[in-house]
Structure 1
Amino acid sequence: MSVHIEAKKGDIAETILLPGDPLRAKWIAETYLENPFCFNKVRNMFGYTGTYQGKPVSVMGTGMGVPSISIYAHELITDYNVKNLIRVGSAGSYQEHIKIRDIVLAMAASSNSGLNELRFNGADYAPTANFELFQKAVDAAKSKNIPIKAGNVFTSDEFYADDFESYKKWSKFGVLCVEMESAGLYTIAAKHNVKALSVLTISDSLVTGKRTSAKERETTFNNMIKIALSLA
């Protein structure tokens, strides 16, 4: 048992899917895993382990933001020996050609979070995906005929920015979308020499204003789950 996870040793698989929403974790476990059992209810951050195509897989919510996912990633790695951490989350499109429900693989994560600035004494650190997981995800998407986009994403500490138009600066430099966790996940994974990848579904667009409902975000983003489970 760690500070925020009540699982026993051996309850959590080496590969874990990490949605921000704990209810999405519950839905993934009940929809895709065989014989899932709940290993965590602390703070209602539900976590489950089962099997997928005969392989043990876990799934657990992380909450919103870099600090929250950093806590859970740290404990999963150091206390439970997790080796592959795959974020399955929603994101807001920064580009006109990236539409609602498109899948984005985060190759790197720019950020306005101050955590790495503190960690590296004011120097810039560029958090990136693990290449092996990234390549496997690309291959899995091709085999399942799931179109994907890949590139730089923006991890923001703000959900409601004071200047809505500020996203256009990131868009101009090719950033594909905004979310709130990948930079933290990639940094913690790199620190502990394990693998991480964010597989994102576009839930809304800052360009067009279109958006999905909370229920749709919780239960209908199937393609990213299929890609993520292929990495187990």
Structure 2
Amino acid sequence: MTIHIGAAVGDIAETVLLPGDPYRAKWAAEAFLRDVTLVNEVRGMLGFTGTWKGHRVTIQGSGMGMPSLSIYVNELIRDYGVRTLIRIGSCGGMQDHVAVRDVILAMTASTVTNPSRSIFKELNFAPCADWSLLQAAAKAAQEKGTTTHVGGIYSSDVFYDERPDLNEQMTRHGILGVEMEAAELYTLAARHGRRALAVLTVSDHLLTGEALPSDQRETSFGEMVEIALSAAFDAAG
């Protein structure tokens, strides 16, 4: 048990999926796992452990933004020995060829700042995904016939962005989408020698203004969860 996770050590699997929304964690656990047990509800940040095709998996909400995710990932790695962490979440599309409902596999995650920034001082550290997970996720997406894009994303530390000039530069430099967590996830994974990946469903588009209605988000996110689960265990060998 930690400050933010009320589970016993053995209650958390070595593979953890990290949606930001705790209720999305509940939905994913009930939809995709068997023998599901609620293992965390501290501060309402729900976590569930079950099995997928015989493999133990935990799905733990991580909250919104890099500071919140950093708390959960630090505790999962440090206190629970988690080896594989996959963010499953939504993002905003930033390229014309990226459509709403497409899936993005984040190869790199650029950011203006994150909770680890003070460690690097003047260095601009380049956080990236684990190659084995990225490769396995791309294979799983191809087998499912999911329209998928692999490349760089932008992890913003604000939701209500007032920097259109920065968004223009992200688009100009080929950034596929924007979200709020992956850069810190990749940085912590690198620091502790863990595997990490962000699998993201495009829920809205910064260029077109198109957005998924709330009642369609869960059904559209199902493919993302299946890709993440397949990648976690295919990459494990």
User: What range is the shorter-chain TM-score in?
Assistant: over 0.9
The two structures have a TM-score, normalised by structure 1, of: 0.96
Per the alignment, residue 5 of structure 2 pairs with 5
Tell me the distance in 1 between the aligned counterparts of 2:133 and 2:77.
17
Tell me the distance in 2 between the aligned counterparts of 1:218 and 1:71.
25
1:24–1:219 Cα contact (<8 Å) kept = no
- What is the CA-CA distance between 1:229 and the residue it aligns to? 1.0
1:40–1:47 Cα contact (<8 Å) kept = yes
Per the alignment, residue 206 of structure 1 pairs with 206
The DSSP-based 3-state class of the residue aligned with 1:128 is coil
Tell me the distance in 1 between the aligned counterparts of 2:154 and 2:119.
19
Per the alignment, residue 172 of structure 2 pairs with 172
Tell me the distance in 1 between the aligned counterparts of 2:217 and 2:67.
22
- What is the CA-CA distance between 1:164 and the residue it aligns to? 3.3
Instruction: Map Cα deviations across residues 158-201 of structure 1 (whole Å, 9 max, x no partner).
Output: 11112335311110011111000000000011111010000000
Instruction: Map Cα deviations across residues 179-229 of structure 1 (whole Å, 9 max, x no partner).
Output: 000000000111110100000000000000011133433454111111011
After TM superposition, list the pairs within 5 Å mapping 1:1-232 onto structure 2.
Answer: 1-230=1-230, 231-232=232-233
Q: Name the Cα RMSD after superposition.
A: 1.2
- What is the CA-CA distance between 1:105 and the residue it aligns to? 0.2
- What is the CA-CA distance between 1:131 and the residue it aligns to? 0.5
1:116–1:124 Cα contact (<8 Å) kept = no
Cα 1:37/1:193, change in 2 over 3 Å: same
The DSSP-based 3-state class of the residue aligned with 1:74 is helix
1:146–1:223 Cα contact (<8 Å) kept = yes
The DSSP-based 3-state class of the residue aligned with 1:162 is coil
Cα 1:28/1:131, change in 2 over 3 Å: same
1:18–1:86 Cα contact (<8 Å) kept = yes
Instruction: Map Cα deviations across residues 2-25 of structure 1 (whole Å, 9 max, x no partner).
Output: 110000011011111100010100
Instruction: Map Cα deviations across residues 40-80 of structure 1 (whole Å, 9 max, x no partner).
Output: 00011000000011111110110011111111001001111
Query: What letter matches 1:37 in structure 2?
Result: T
Tell me the distance in 1 between the aligned counterparts of 2:63 and 2:115.
17
Where does structure 1 lack aligned partners over 5 or more consecutive residues? Answer: none
Where does structure 2 lack aligned partners over 5 or more consecutive residues? Answer: none
Aligned residues: 232
Tell me the distance in 1 between the aligned counterparts of 2:34 and 2:132.
26
Query: What letter matches 2:81 in structure 1?
Result: N
- What is the CA-CA distance between 1:141 and the residue it aligns to? 1.3
Query: What letter matches 1:17 in structure 2?
Result: L
- What is the CA-CA distance between 1:97 and the residue it aligns to? 0.9
Tell me the distance in 2 between the aligned counterparts of 1:55 and 1:5.
22
The DSSP-based 3-state class of the residue aligned with 1:221 is helix
